[in-house]
Structure 1
């Protein structure tokens, strides 16, 4: 197997990891304290993705100030994302008080999108690199899927819709993989790293403004900070050894 078919197979690995994490959130009972810890773990992982994976690529660019500016602009991207979510929920006749779980779902989807970009571009360089990138994302994506679906479950989203949303995690990673394989690989490096940095800026905002805020609703655990840093350390291990 080679070419874009291989990219799709590799991109399916992190999508499957996310789906399995979401499926686990459907099978087991998720008390508030467990969900709080899951969100702290996911937050640590996402921060590590930005700090250890996306930004080093951005800083290696010839004109590093461009992706750094794109990172800052990610805050505006997050504001736009919240406006879109708010608008959709109002059109459905619901208030804005439940935006948090949907913003977390969108943030996890953006993380998968960035995974897909790296898998698509990496596979074009060397299929073995694409495989390593794909396998390295799976242990990180499963906790994110668990946290996203468990949060939607607490928000009262019905089970059928939650399962469909868990399956929908495949869309951003496949989209990112196609973009990385067909478009960004032939684009200037500065554009590629700027797209990744902009995505990173949105992810930082999602973690601080939504994930951690949601983690402190209801019953919380004093182990939250330990789990947060453990999530960062988990991804650091994956990054260092894979």
Structure 2
């Protein structure tokens, strides 16, 4: 590989990191908003439904349609099921760590939601990284489109941690840590998957989609229903889906 080619690759990588930083900043902004506002149980439930709708839209409108373009669709379909198994493994790992630390199970749900949002950001990063390899303009559109979707996700995640009694300093550090999965995903998408067989890239997207689907129904919605309910929850859920659908359609 020539020096010019190496320089072009590094310039592209810097662009990918800059693009991935946009949704990461949106997520962090949502988390800071949750720190500044007093969040009632009903408001938290609504925000979790909104975030759940957004995540389902990411899976249904971005991840799986792309994954099913594979020449052998059964591979990403099996990977989607594997995503559910991945969620079970993550949940057990969280429970095991907390048990060894002598903590109770009250924060296991919030921590699983934190993990789910991290997985969503990771998938965002993978999409931005791979899209930028194909077309920098497409990477830019994906990055800009993710920003308004990531703000309510960050808000819901940090608000949930706040109500679980996790210390403020820890919450802020966790909000800042959301930058890590999207940057890692972008790096993987740009470097590792650019040379990988297409079927592997699509399987990774489907695996992430399966894990996110499990997080939505097993953690986000469950956690939301542990708080005072509202008749607006179905509207928040479908509204979150519609929000991401609009972003996807008009960007």
Q: Fold conserved (TM > 0.5)? A: yes
Native 8 Å contact 2:20 2:182 kept in 1:
yes
- Match in the other structure for 1:29: 38
TM-score, normalised via structure 2 length: 0.95
- Match in the other structure for 1:16: 25
Deviation of the 1:98 alpha carbon: 2.2
- Cα deviations by residue, 1:21-65 (Å, 9 ceiling, x for unpaired): 000000000000000000000000000000000000111110001
SS in 2 for 1:94: coil
SS in 2 for 1:89: helix
- Match in the other structure for 1:108: 117
For 2:111 and 2:85, the matched residues in 1 are separated by 18
For 1:95 and 1:34, the matched residues in 2 are separated by 25
Native 8 Å contact 2:106 2:164 kept in 1:
no
1:178 aligns with 2:187: yes
Which structure has the bigger radius of gyration? 2
Deviation of the 1:159 alpha carbon: 0.3
- Match in the other structure for 1:4: 13
Deviation of the 1:128 alpha carbon: 1.1
- Cα deviations by residue, 1:143-172 (Å, 9 ceiling, x for unpaired): 000000000000000000000000000000
Please, which moves more after superposition, 44-53 or 96-105? 96-105
What CA RMSD, in Å, does the superposition of the two structures yield over aligned residues? 1.0
- Match in the other structure for 1:69: 78
- Match in the other structure for 1:59: 68
The structure 2 residue matched to 1:43, chosen from 23, 28, 52, is 52
For 1:86 and 1:128, the matched residues in 2 are separated by 42
Please, which moves more after superposition, 28-37 or 116-125? 116-125
Deviation of the 1:3 alpha carbon: 1.3
- Cα deviations by residue, 1:189-241 (Å, 9 ceiling, x for unpaired): 11001011011001000000000001011211110001100000000001111
Please list every run of at least 4 consecutive aligned residues from structure 1 whose deviation after the TM superposition is greater than 4 angstroms.
none
For 1:77 and 1:104, the matched residues in 2 are separated by 14
SS in 1 for 2:103: coil
Native 8 Å contact 2:63 2:206 kept in 1:
yes
In the TM superposition, what are the counterparts of 1:180-195 in structure 2 within 5 Å? 180-195=189-204
For 1:96 and 1:83, the matched residues in 2 are separated by 12
- Cα deviations by residue, 1:99-125 (Å, 9 ceiling, x for unpaired): 100000000000000000011111111
Gaps of 5+ in 2: 1-9
For 1:27 and 1:187, the matched residues in 2 are separated by 44
How many correspondences in the alignment? 242
TM-score, normalised via structure 1 length: 0.98
For 1:60 and 1:124, the matched residues in 2 are separated by 18
SS in 2 for 1:220: coil
1:145 aligns with 2:170: no
For 2:169 and 2:106, the matched residues in 1 are separated by 22
Gaps of 5+ in 1: none
1:134 aligns with 2:130: no
Deviation of the 1:97 alpha carbon: 3.4
